[in-house]
Amino acid sequence: MAFLQRVVNGGGFIDREYAVGRDRVDIAVRKPHLDEHGHRAVQLSAFELKVRTDKSGDQVAKGLVQLDGYLDDLGLDTGTLVVFDRRTIAPPIADRTGITNALSPSGRPITLIHA
């Protein structure tokens, strides 16, 4: 959240557990701006956070389904899924951290962050 606060420091907002209907998206970032016609507009970004543990197993598929539903409700074309690896046998952070692309079940592009 501290990293995102620096990103939106110029007048944006970070909403935790942003209600979007049947459930809640973990983080939504709202950034007011002026559109191409000079009218007020808001850029909205959705982030789903998951934790992989010894018991939970891989959370990517579940997170993509969940995020896809949020994106439907918010009317967004893309989102970000962050999966934290908290297993006792997790590789060193330098080996497990990375950013890739994925597709949601409905075909939306998703930024997938492994941490």
Q: Tens digits of per-residue pLDDT, 18-32?
A: 555 545 557 888 888
Given pLDDT bands bounded at 50, 70 and 90, which one contains residue 1? low
Please say if the pLDDT value at position 13 is more than 90: no
Q: What's the pTM? A: 0.80
* pLDDT at position 40 over 80: yes
3-state SS track over the chain: CHHHHHHCCCCCEEEEEEECCCCEEEEEEEEEEECCCCCEEEEEEEEEEEEECCCCCCCHHHHHHHHHHHHHHHCCCCEEEEEEECCCCCCCHHHHCEEEEEECCCCCEEEEEEC
